Amino acid sequence: MRPFEQRAQTIIRRLPPHALAAEIGVLRGQVSECVLQNTDASLIMVDSWLPSDQQPERYKATKDQHAFDPAEIVSKHKREALARVHRFRGRAQIKEMSSVEAASQVEDCTLDLVFIDADHSYEGVREDIAAWFPKVKASGWIGGHDYQNPDARFCFGVDRAVDGWIEETGCTLETDLNFTWWARV
Ligand SMILES: C[S@@+](CC[C@H](N)C(=O)[O-])C[C@H]1O[C@@H](n2cnc3c(N)ncnc32)[C@H](O)[C@@H]1O
């Protein structure tokens, strides 16, 4: 399995039938496509698709390559994502906006699962967890990518943000394929 298929698998096996889920940070839509193809879930796909000159400094400080993508590459990613999920358009809802803005448009306690994979800075992940945790139903799942990723090229704040949130809430942390983290709400 390729890494994006592994990430998708961690989502797929946590979804109940007819689930409503959200992926925060979509990029090219590879994970979204895999989830939509292998489940009957509906998926809210959130990505701001902003070029590097509009990205916050805290995101660039993580050294994530996608914080440095120029406008033409970002447009290509967006076109690719839209094309990948076109055939599922009844079940895919695309929100081209910031994570926090998108969360404000979703009712509390309505999602079966949220997967956070956007701005990997400490502040970014904390903000995304704070914005999306209330959207998840009781016994739903919140999770994300790049927890305990040992790749020294990155300065991700994911571990600190997730560990802090786990300590505050007392939720139980699970790790899964390809550096994903998960907690049942
Ligand atoms: C690591 S990629 C997502 C990869 C995708 N989840 C996958 O597994 O293939 C991160 C994406 O998050 C988006 N992003 C970063 N900060 C964001 C924010 N604050 N709100 C919405 N999207 C954001 C970027 O545009 C980028 O496409």
Instruction: Give the per-residue pLDDT at 108.
Output: 98
**95-113 burial, b if ≥16 CB within 10 A, otherwise e?**
bebbbbebbeebeeeebbb
> Which of 96, 86, 158 shows the shortest CA–CA distance to 127?
158
Q: Is the dihedral of CA 12, 185, 45, 51 positive or negative?
A: negative
Ligand 1 atom nearest the C-alpha of 28 is 9
Residue to probe by mutation, ligand 1, list 9, 26, 76, 177, most atoms within 8 Å of CB? 26
User: pLDDT band at 154, cuts 50/70/90?
Assistant: confident
CA 112/CA 33 separation, integer angstroms: 18
Q: pLDDT band for position 160 (50/70/90)?
A: very high
**Ligand 1, CB cutoff 6 Å, lining residues:** 4, 7, 23, 25-27, 30-31, 46-49, 59, 66, 98-99, 117-119
**Which atom of ligand 1 has the smallest separation from the CA of 29?**
9
Domain of residue 71 covers 3-184
The residue whose CB lies within 8 Å of the most ligand 1 atoms, and thus the one to mutate among 35, 45, 66, is 66
Residue 86 has pLDDT above 90, yes or no: yes
Distance from Cα 50 to the centre of ligand 1, integer Å: 9
What mean pLDDT is predicted for residues 130-142?
98
CATH number, domain of 87, equals 3.40.50.150
Count structural domains, the chain: 1
Whether 185 has a pLDDT exceeding 90, the answer reads yes
Expressed in angstroms and rounded, the spacing between residue 71 Cα and the centre of ligand 1 is 15
Which residue's CA lies nearest to atom 22 of ligand 1? 47
CA 120 to chain centre: 10
User: Is residue 103 very low, low, confident or very high in pLDDT (cuts 50, 70, 90)?
Assistant: very high
Is the pLDDT at 153 greater than 90? The verdict is no
Minimum CA distance residue for ligand 1 atom 5:
26
The fraction of the chain above a pLDDT of 90, given in percent, is 97
Please name every residue paired with 181 in a beta bridge, in sequence order, or none if there are none: 144, 175
Q: What is the mean pLDDT of residues 136-164?
A: 94
